Structure 1
């Protein structure tokens, strides 16, 4: 299977998602959040560092639920700053 390369906009969006999740995680360890969310630590690490710019929807749903984030907090036009509510924990 050949994957279509991601656009710069898609890569940026993945990096922004990762940064917002990292901020929301706060002092909690990556291991704690990953285990409680039911995802691997490596998956969470890739998402937080932007190395997985298009993660599976249900993976993000589980991580957001564990961090107390609403999926609505990530609905925004491309290029806009993340909403305050997505970064507050």
Structure 2
């Protein structure tokens, strides 16, 4: 099966998802979160770095559960228009996830 190239919007959503998961992971190790979620550390690394912009739903659901994120919250934040998703003065969008 041939995969079509990702659209610019898909790439941006993948980057936002990765940033959101990195922030939500906080000081927990990538290995710990990945194993708890039932995914490989390499898969989590690729998602967090944006290299896998469209991960499978069960993968996202597993990681979200381990990090205490709701899928609704992830969907809303990853799909917001780009300018609205980035708080003023924060080019990295760091305020998207409240610290626990």
What TM-score, normalized by structure 1, do the two folds share? 0.90
Aligned residues: 89
Q: Which has the higher contact order (CA 8 A, sep 6+)?
A: 1
- Other-structure match for 1:53: 53
Deviation at 1:65, TM superposition (A): 0.2
* Runs (4+) off by over 3 Å: none
**Is there any run of 5+ residues in structure 2 with no aligned partner, and where?**
87-93
> Quick one: distance in 2 between partners of 1:47 and 1:81?
19
Once residues 3 and 72 of structure 1 are traced to their aligned partners in structure 2, the CA distance between those partners, rounded to angstroms, is 27
Indicate the RMSD between aligned Cα atoms, in angstroms: 2.0
Residues 73 and 85 of structure 1 are in contact (CA less than 8 Å); yes or no, is this contact kept in structure 2? no
Structure 1 gap segments, 5+ residues each = none
- Answer with 70-79 or 24-33: which moved more: 70-79
